[in-house]
Amino acid sequence: MVRNEPLAYRMRPKKLNEIAGQQDIIGEHTPLYKMIANGHVPSMLLYGEPGIGKTSIAFAIAGTSNLPFIPLNATRSGKKDIEDVVNESRITGKVLLFLDEIHRFNKLQQDTLLPHVESGAIVLIGATTENPFHDVNPAIRSRCGEIKQLKRLNADDLFMLIQRALTDEERGLGLQKIVITKEQQMKIAESANGDARKALTLLESVVSASDEEDGVTTIDDALLQNLVDRIGVFGDKKGSHFYNLLSALQKSVRGSDVNAAMYYLAHLLENGDLVAVSRRLLVMAYEDIGLANPSVGAHVLASIQAAERLGLPEARIPLASAVVEMCLSEKSNSAYKALDAAIASIHAGKVGDIPSHLKDTHYEGAAALGHGGYVYPHNTPIGSFGGWVNQTYLPDNLVNSKFYTPVLAGEEKKLAGIYQKIESFKKS
């Protein structure tokens, strides 16, 4: 066995029953497990964050099925590599192709491969960190009978994997005498944040960095903590997980859950993309708070400007204030929903001519075209509102259209009252 290979590589499962976690997808009770165990391997897409088992599952399927196995990475493979796979299938019969980063597949590679996947000569297992329904070509998706989203491993899954690595004499660290407590193993498992590769890499690092005396390596708590503090556990910066974090932050704010919003904001700021977080917060101020508390938009903008001047890590302070204020504010989406309804109406063909009294009259000849007759509302005061006059503003064929539905929350209660009063004036 080659010992210079990383521990995470050496510990990849060789059979399906060695897979850590993902039991809902490929556990012994699942249809996929039974299909493969019975000799049928369908083409499939595996989708999920880095380090949660996509490559491991592919290797385990290969070991269980005994099909000729060819692993490629779409970022480095060319048309020649695909032709080699096709030629291999002609010689040996059916082959299992594992294509990592499949969303990087170009059209030339795809055209070369697709007929052979469709005929069954090549069984394709594609892995991607991006949402396959957004980033994988439909022609590939249509030929994959299974599209599986893998879940992040939990601490118990990783603890089991660590114990297996410590005791495996062939592939793991079982030949070394290592003194490591269960608490230290669990600390490694929890610190890896669901990433098996990080868990095994951290284990290998702490063992390598620990002192050995009389052939025994003893793990020190302080050394372990130092390595834990240095490990990156917050996922990809611009992949699907990043956008899922943005989505979770917005939905937590919309749901008024301060603690959840703080959790997702922390993850996002640890990724370091202050611009993307700031843009999302500003959108949220108008999309989710809106007319119920119009001052929030200005407050969030001020917080963002302060964050930009401060930079990270201090930028977290004004942004935290903005998120708490949005969480606990009254909320309304009525304004942008009204605009979306008007846009949808236009797209549906519901358009008409602008009333003549609203058309531009600032040129000679406007009157000859029939433009004019506009009544200036400010010249007709109405209570403390300012001014209002009953005249038509929508095209004649859209006069009774309603796009705005007020939400009776916060400051919008007052606006709703004015809106309803004006609507009643129109009917009188």
pLDDT tens, 11-46? 888 888 888 888 888 888 899 889 888 888 889 999
CATH of domain 334-427: 1.10.3710.10
Q: Report the share of the chain in percent with pLDDT over 90.
A: 31
Q: Tokens representing 104?
A: 């990087």
The residue that leads in pLDDT, 369 or 291, is: 291
Beta strands per DSSP E along 44-93: 44-47, 69-73
- For residue 320, what pLDDT is reported? 95
- Both tokens assigned to 404: 């705005």
The CATH number of 22-149 is 3.40.50.300
Give the other-Cβ count within 10 Å of 329's Cβ. Answer: 21
pLDDT confidence tier of residue 2, bands split at 50, 70 and 90 = very low
Instruction: Kindly report, as residue ranges, where domains of CATH 1.10.8.60 are found in the chain.
Output: 155-230
DSSP state of 211: -
Average pLDDT over residues 374-403: 88
The domain defined by 155-230 folds into Helicase, Ruva Protein; domain 3 (1.10.8)
Residue 232 has a pLDDT of 52
Extract the tokens encoding 410: 């916060």
Segment 327-336 mean pLDDT: 94
Stretch 373-395: mean pLDDT, rounded?
88
Report d(CA 46, CA 146) in Å as an integer: 8
Residue range 148-161: mean pLDDT, rounded: 88
Residue 233's pLDDT band (cuts 50, 70, 90): very low
pLDDT of the residue at 231: 63
What ranges make up the beta strands (E) of 226-296? none
CATH of 240-328, one of 1.20.272.10, 3.40.50.970, 1.10.20.10, 1.10.275.10: 1.20.272.10
Q: Which two tokens stand for residue 106?
A: 């170009």
Do 145 and 123 form a contact (C-beta atoms < 8 A)? no
Among 191-195, 249-253, 302-306, the minimum mean pLDDT is found in: 191-195
Output the CA–CA distances (angstroms, integers) from residue 122 to 15, 68, 128, 147, 377, in the order listed: 20, 10, 19, 17, 73
Concatenated DSSP letters for 162-208? HHHHHH-TTTSSTTSEEE--HHHHHHHHHHTTT-HHHHHHHHHHHHH
pLDDT of residue 241: 67
Provide the mean pLDDT of the chain: 87
CATH 1.20.272.10 segments of the chain: 240-328
Taking 3-state DSSP, the helix, strand and coil percentages for the chain, each rounded to the nearest 5, stand at 55, 10, 35
Residue with tokens 């008024």: 256
Can you tell me the mean pLDDT for 321-345? 94
Q: For residues 111 and 119, give the distance between their C-alpha atoms in angstroms, rounded to a whole number.
A: 14
Q: What's the whole-number mean pLDDT along residues 171-192?
A: 91
Q: Could you give the 3-state DSSP secondary structure of residue 9? A: helix
| Mean pLDDT of the 375-386 span | 87
Question: By three-state DSSP, how is residue 155 classified?
Answer: helix
Question: What value, to the nearest 5°, has the Cα angle with vertex 339 and ends 336 and 341?
Answer: 110
Of 1 and 44, more confident: 44
Band the pLDDT of 239: cuts 50, 70, 90. Answer: low
**What pLDDT sits at residue 238?**
52
pLDDT in tens, 73-94: 888 887 788 888 888 888 887 8
Identity of the amino acid at 374: Y
Is 1's pLDDT higher than 50? no
Give the rounded distance of the alpha carbon of 357 from its chain centre: 50
The predicted structure's pLDDT at residue 240:
58
- Across 81-101, b (16+ Cβ under 10 Å) vs e yields bbeebbebbeeeeebbbbbbb
Identify whether the C-beta of residue 79 lies closer than 8 Å to the C-beta of residue 112. yes
Beta carbons within 8 Å of 119's beta carbon, 6+ residues apart: none
Q: What does the radius of gyration of the chain's CA atoms come to, in whole angstroms?
A: 31
Q: CATH 1.10.3710.10 spans which residues of the chain?
A: 334-427
Range list for CATH 3.40.50.300 in the chain: 22-149
CA dist., res. 333 & res. 319, Å (int): 22
Provide the pLDDT confidence category of residue 3 given band limits of 50, 70 and 90: low
